[in-house]
Chains A and B, each alone.
Chain A
Amino acid sequence: MAVCIAVIAKENYPLYIRSVPTQNELKFHYTVHTSLDVVEEKISAVGKALGDQRELYLGLLYPTEDYKVYGYVTNSKVKFVIVVDSSNTSLRDNEIRSMFRKLHNSFTDVMCNPFHNPGDPIQSKAFDGIVSGMMVQTG
């Protein structure tokens, strides 16, 4: 279960960011922001020639003592970032992948909505629902 989920546009501004409210949200925002550097580094590591080989799932971006940050980038350079609690060791890599997959699906659905302008903050209830389902269920 994630503690923070963020969707960042190509221009690196957030389209959607949501964290477990009990914690200091600013900290998560900052974490997500710094993780963008790692994301950029990873996606630029693969050269242009290998553009299509680049995998969408970036994996663990970096761990801290409190949490781990995972990244995922779409072909249109929209980035998804998930922050999970380090104490939550039962999360497998595949589960993270499936979370990203779900996020990507929901994001695509949001994009399909003609009333949604790409670049606007995401206000879809369906998307919110998906994200809530992935967040840590805090009391």
Chain B
Amino acid sequence: MESLTLSDVEQKYYSDLFVYCDTDNTKKVASNGRVLDLFRAAQLPSEVVLQITELCGATRLGHFGRSQFYIALKLIAIAQSGLPLRVESLNSVKDLPLPRFVVGKNEAEARHAALYQDSDSQGLYPASATAVIPRPPGRGHQNKKGPPTSTSLPLNTAPEPTSPVVSPHQSPPTSPHSWRKHKRQHSGGNPDRPPVVAATGAVWTQFREPQSGPVSGDGMWSSHSPPLPSQESWVSFTADTPPSSTLPTMHPSSVQESTTIRTVASAATTNEIQRQSSAYDDPWKITDEQRQYYINQFKTIQPDLTGFIPGSAAKEFFTKSKLPILELSHIWELSDFDKDGALTLDEFCAAFHLVVARKNGYDLPEKLPESLMPKLIDLDDSAEVPEPTTDVGYSASPVEVTPSKSPSMPSLNQAWPEMNQSNEQWETFSERSSSSQTLTQFDSNIAPADPDTAIVHPVPIRMTPSKIHMQEMELKRTGSDHNHPTSPLLAKPPEMSEEAKLPASMKFVAANTVGDGYSSSDSFTSDQEPITRQRSQSGTSPEALKVVAPPPPPPRPHPSHSRSSSLDMNRTFAAASATGQPQPSTIAYPPAVPPRPLPTQGVSGGGAVLTTTSPQQIPQQPNFADFSQFQAFAASEQPSSLPEVDKHSDSGQVGRDGQAEIHLSTVNSGSSGPLAPPPKPVRRRLKSEDELRPEDEQHGPQKSNVIAAVLATQPSIPRSVGKDKKAIQASIRRNKETNTVLARLNSELQQQLKDLLEERISLEVQLEQLRPFSHL
């Protein structure tokens, strides 16, 4: 197959036909129905068609590639003009009339045939007008060529005002179609090349309209669906760029064509061209030519197609279109999908498309149409696969101002809830410091080795929330509070549940509390269900140890915007806790070590009390292990006072802090008992943990007290029990486990601290740089 040089007209015509036939949008046209129809419509004898097919190489390949298709079309034109079919004639025949296709489903081709005429075939036009077939009945679209007034209206080449000849397959002729208006717009000197070219660009796109909109004369224009801008309108604001340069596949041949193109351009600049039709199925779809044009425009600003255009350059560029700034601003908002102030190729194409649409009179949509959403774009327009939305690897860190965008934008749906979008944006932030997350995720639900001994495995909850968690938490918080029949929330007085309902980022919604102390690493969403683990120590009196779910990790500060406010948010949260206000969203609660089952007789006495207490208590204080139980039996001499204290706390409790105080008090009271010696060494160790939680200042002591209490109780166990050696051994085992857990926790917290310190340092450095610009 030799190379094929096409005139501009031919180029356009063929590409239209190709796109028309390329129903699968695969850039290859198989020998499918449309192609065959097209060839049949050429009204050539079948053997000629076969010969053509063979010549163009399609039989070899099995399908029509773009070049094969073009060659086939050219051969058809040759055949139709009566010339012998030869490969050599492909390039040698000059001024070949465009192939004409008669039969009707291809109303596009039919119209093309009518329009795409070169100068010599002006005379042919009336003849071909007869060949022009109105749109097939299915389209419901009326088309008509204007009268051939070749005088002042260069575009009005042939079409007759009367109804075109109808093929037998077609319905009766349709009402006249006023391209006239369209053609009238094309001013300027039209030399030999009929302005058909210009018309074609406009008209053929019109043919692609969906079957909506009644067609009736001039009013038709307004009924068109949102336009695909024609070539003319593309150039409306780039004052001097002839469209010919935008179609890289064109072979600019003669001056004739170029003048025609310029005509097109000049016609476009008048910009009175009415709406153009859209693609067959999607009014906002960008056609190949348009995309190529946009890409070329993009190249003029930014040679690297995988790079992006900064906002200022884009502003200048689009200001040339002379749209009002407000509309340009709106277009920007629609098209800058990742809100970073710069346009990738996709965004640029979308913006360009919207500008052109607007210039053609179409209103801007409120939301970005689906077909304009940035996706993975090949220059070949191959079908994209939308990328997963949430885990897009934005290379931008929260601090960088000009991240290098990956060319593959995720196909984000703008209609997302805002949370998704903001989440996605600050996902980067969380990903950066997500290293610590993995550490904390222990395997959940580790079955106790010995059910009898009731070893409770602590299951640390991930300390740093992931987006999923937060969403789930929100959902669960709002949804499950009323759904779960056994939720302690229902048992509580309503105001308690109100307190428990921490908004947005608060994790451990109360339901967690009663729940599962051993929630899995990513399932404190499931913590809503209260799970009561019954650990029976010696099988005598089963205690209902309500293990409090470990508190949800602190919410990752929302890097709501990758550039600026992420810093703020960090500070916000860091400062928030520093202010000492109850900041539930910022407090990091360590995973609460579940209370150890206590094999004491005193426990059984206190157990009953505890069971009544804990349902009320736990919802309030989800993050703390329910070590009031420990207190109860640890300070077994005060079994009744503690539950009462707790009850009081329950009734009076409003916030976590109150609870914490009570716990503190219980801890203190507990430690004041016979347990005084043991807690001390424990506490010393726990103090280091406090340091590791910078954002946890106020609760650090509480936490240490929690742990102190927990640990304090354990030494007391062998003391108070003294008789059950097995229990002692079990408790020793438990202690060891607790130790390992706490050691691990320690390391994680240290890691987190390091990260935070690094961040803080970097932020401080940045602030120092910015300081000269801020004046108090």
Q: Which residues of A contact B (CB under 8 A)?
A: 43-44, 48, 51-57, 74-77, 90, 92-95, 97-98, 101-102, 104-105, 108-109, 112-116, 123-126, 130
The yes or no answer to B333 lying at the interface (CB within 8 A) is yes
Nearest neighbor of B328 in chain A, beta-carbon distance: A115
The 5 closest A-B pairs by CB, nearest first: A114-B311, A115-B329, A114-B315, A112-B341, A55-B575
CB-defined interface of B312-338 with A at 8 Å, one 1/0 digit per residue? Answer: 101100100000011011101100100
| Number of interchain pairs (Cβ within 8 Å) | 113
Q: How far is the CA of A126 from the CA of B339 in the complex (A)?
A: 12
User: Assuming the A-B contacts A57-B572, A115-B315, A123-B326, are A109 and B339 also in contact, with contact meaning beta carbons closer than 8 angstroms in the complex?
Assistant: yes
Distance (whole angstroms) from the CB of A93 to the closest CB of chain B: 8
Interface residues of B in 555-572 (CB under 8 A from A): 558, 560-561, 563-565, 567-569, 571-572
Do the beta carbons of A101 and B311 come within 8 Å of each other?
Answer: no
Question: Can you show 17 pairs from A to B with CB atoms below 8 A apart?
Answer: A52-B571, A75-B567, A77-B774, A94-B503, A94-B584, A95-B503, A95-B504, A101-B565, A108-B564, A112-B311, A113-B311, A113-B329, A113-B332, A114-B332, A115-B332, A124-B330, A125-B366
Q: Beyond the given A101-B560, A109-B339, could you list 8 further A-B residue pairs with CB under 8 A, ordered by the A residue number?
A: A98-B505, A105-B422, A108-B561, A108-B565, A113-B341, A114-B314, A115-B315, A116-B329
Do the beta carbons of A104 and B503 come within 8 Å of each other?
Answer: no
Q: Among B312, B561, B569, which residue has its beta carbon within 8 angstroms of that of A109?
A: B561
The yes or no answer to B447 lying at the interface (CB within 8 A) is no
Nearest neighbor of B343 in chain A, beta-carbon distance: A114
Do the beta carbons of B503 and A105 come within 8 Å of each other?
Answer: no
The yes or no answer to B756 lying at the interface (CB within 8 A) is no
Nearest neighbor of B578 in chain A, beta-carbon distance: A53
Do the beta carbons of B561 and A55 come within 8 Å of each other?
Answer: no
The yes or no answer to B506 lying at the interface (CB within 8 A) is yes
The interface residues of chain A lying within 8 Å CB-to-CB of B329 are 113, 115-116, 123-124
Distance (whole angstroms) from the CB of B583 to the closest CB of chain A: 8
Do the beta carbons of B311 and A130 come within 8 Å of each other?
Answer: no
Binds A, one of B88-96, B515-523, B529-537, B763-771: B763-771
Q: How far is the CA of A92 from the CA of B771 in the complex (A)?
A: 33
The interface residues of chain B lying within 8 Å CB-to-CB of A105 are 418, 422, 560-561, 565
The interface residues of chain B lying within 8 Å CB-to-CB of A75 are 564, 567-568, 770, 774
Q: Among B333, B505, B776, which residue has its beta carbon within 8 angstroms of that of A51?
A: B776
Give the one of B325, B503, B579, B771 with max A CB within 10 A: B503
Q: How far is the CA of A122 from the CA of B329 in the complex (A)?
A: 11
The yes or no answer to B745 lying at the interface (CB within 8 A) is no
The yes or no answer to B721 lying at the interface (CB within 8 A) is no
Do the beta carbons of A44 and B315 come within 8 Å of each other?
Answer: no
Q: Among A56, A90, A98, A115, which residue has its beta carbon within 8 angstroms of that of B325?
A: A115
Q: How far is the CA of A102 from the CA of B314 in the complex (A)?
A: 27
Q: Which residues of B contact A (CB under 8 A)?
A: 311-312, 314-315, 318, 325-326, 328-330, 332-333, 336, 339-341, 366, 418, 422, 498, 502-506, 558, 560-561, 563-565, 567-569, 571-572, 575-576, 578-579, 581, 584-585, 763-764, 767, 770-771, 774, 776
The interface residues of chain B lying within 8 Å CB-to-CB of A98 are 503-505
Do the beta carbons of B326 and A54 come within 8 Å of each other?
Answer: no
Do the beta carbons of B341 and A114 come within 8 Å of each other?
Answer: yes
Q: Does more than half of chain A's interface fall in helix, strand or loop, or is it mixed?
A: helix
Do the beta carbons of A94 and B506 come within 8 Å of each other?
Answer: yes
The interface residues of chain B lying within 8 Å CB-to-CB of A54 are 571, 575
Do the beta carbons of A55 and B776 come within 8 Å of each other?
Answer: no
Distance (whole angstroms) from the CB of A12 to the closest CB of chain B: 14
Do the beta carbons of A104 and B774 come within 8 Å of each other?
Answer: no
The interface residues of chain B lying within 8 Å CB-to-CB of A113 are 311, 329, 332-333, 336, 341
The interface residues of chain B lying within 8 Å CB-to-CB of A95 are 503-504
Do the beta carbons of A57 and B503 come within 8 Å of each other?
Answer: no
Do the beta carbons of A53 and B575 come within 8 Å of each other?
Answer: yes
Distance (whole angstroms) from the CB of B366 to the closest CB of chain A: 7
Q: How far is the CA of A105 from the CA of B562 in the complex (A)?
A: 10
Do the beta carbons of B340 and A112 come within 8 Å of each other?
Answer: yes
Distance (whole angstroms) from the CB of B557 to the closest CB of chain A: 10
The interface residues of chain A lying within 8 Å CB-to-CB of B569 are 101
User: Assuming the A-B contacts A55-B579, A108-B563, A109-B339, are A48 and B767 also in contact, with contact meaning beta carbons closer than 8 angstroms in the complex?
Assistant: no
Distance (whole angstroms) from the CB of A136 to the closest CB of chain B: 18
Q: How far is the CA of A102 from the CA of B418 in the complex (A)?
A: 9
Give the one of A51, A94, A105, A115 with max B CB within 10 A: A115
Q: How far is the CA of A115 from the CA of B331 in the complex (A)?
A: 10
The interface residues of chain A lying within 8 Å CB-to-CB of B771 are 51
User: Assuming the A-B contacts A43-B776, A124-B333, are A94 and B767 also in contact, with contact meaning beta carbons closer than 8 angstroms in the complex?
Assistant: no
Q: How far is the CA of A124 from the CA of B505 in the complex (A)?
A: 28
Nearest neighbor of B766 in chain A, beta-carbon distance: A52
The interface residues of chain B lying within 8 Å CB-to-CB of A112 are 311, 336, 339-341
The interface residues of chain A lying within 8 Å CB-to-CB of B564 are 74-75, 108
Q: How far is the CA of A17 from the CA of B577 in the complex (A)?
A: 31
Q: How far is the CA of A114 from the CA of B314 in the complex (A)?
A: 8
The interface residues of chain A lying within 8 Å CB-to-CB of B776 are 43-44, 48, 51
Distance (whole angstroms) from the CB of B159 to the closest CB of chain A: 43
Q: How far is the CA of A25 from the CA of B553 in the complex (A)?
A: 42
User: Assuming the A-B contacts A48-B776, A114-B314, are A56 and B328 also in contact, with contact meaning beta carbons closer than 8 angstroms in the complex?
Assistant: no
Do the beta carbons of A56 and B561 come within 8 Å of each other?
Answer: no
Do the beta carbons of B568 and A104 come within 8 Å of each other?
Answer: yes
Do the beta carbons of B774 and A126 come within 8 Å of each other?
Answer: no
Q: How far is the CA of A55 from the CA of B271 in the complex (A)?
A: 53
Q: How far is the CA of A44 from the CA of B339 in the complex (A)?
A: 32
Distance (whole angstroms) from the CB of A96 to the closest CB of chain B: 9
Q: How far is the CA of A128 from the CA of B568 in the complex (A)?
A: 23
Q: How far is the CA of A77 from the CA of B560 in the complex (A)?
A: 18
Q: How far is the CA of A113 from the CA of B328 in the complex (A)?
A: 9
Distance (whole angstroms) from the CB of A100 to the closest CB of chain B: 9
Nearest neighbor of B309 in chain A, beta-carbon distance: A114
Q: How far is the CA of A97 from the CA of B340 in the complex (A)?
A: 24
User: Assuming the A-B contacts A104-B560, A115-B325, are A56 and B774 also in contact, with contact meaning beta carbons closer than 8 angstroms in the complex?
Assistant: no
